[in-house]
Amino acid sequence: MDQQTFQNTIFVYKDRMFRFAKKLLDSEADAFDTVQDVMMKLWQSRDRLFAYDNMEAYAMRCVKNECLSRQRHGKVVARYNAAQKGEPILEPNHGNTKKLILNLIGQLPEKQKLVMYLRDVEEYEISEIAALLDMEDGTVRVNLMRGRQKIKSQLEKIWTYEKRQTGR
């Protein structure tokens, strides 16, 4: 694969890859670094890329895997730093519903989080998500339904608590 072919087949997905990485990592700088690393790895393995039927799904899966690796590494570092200082890690305070929902999505199990983000934020179709995450369509639907149910119940708990506190 030459440079022009690479640009036409893989490089066209860089914006989607960046948005996906940014959602998973919650940091533009980390997302940019992740996409750069994945692009470099894809370029280095460009001769083997034709073996994949869906280049976009493969590239997005590479981004997902790299993000998960970075998250695991970040959690280990954060736990180590907190243990050294003897301080708990504090959760950020969210002031509006959109941020609250995105935070709740971030707390879901990994599959539900990825499926909800791709479907509800990136607006991928169920079949596209299934290809990206290497799942069956039914599994994607189940994870989406369960994730939405958890978000709904958590929001109802929060709003009930707020109503009791404000007396409305």
Both tokens of 144, joined, read 């989406």
Both tokens of 46, joined, read 């460009």
Q: Is 94 exposed, middle or buried (0-12, 13-18, 19+ CB in 10 A)?
A: middle
Q: What is the mean pLDDT of residues 141-148?
A: 93
The CATH topology of domain 1-90 is Rna Polymerase Sigma Factor; Chain: A (1.10.1740)
pTM (predicted TM-score): 0.53
Rg (CA), the chain: 19
For residue range 27-52, what is the model confidence (pLDDT) as tens digits?
A: 889 899 999 999 999 888 888 888 88
Helix H or strand E encompassing 88: none
Contact predicate 158/97, CB 8 Å? no
% of the chain with per-residue pLDDT over 90 = 17
Instruction: Decide which of 159 and 166 is more confident.
Output: 159
* 92-168 under CATH 1.10.3110.10, yes or no: no
What pLDDT score was predicted for residue 141? 93
CA 130, chain centre distance (Å): 15
Where along the chain do its domains lie?
A: 1-90, 92-168
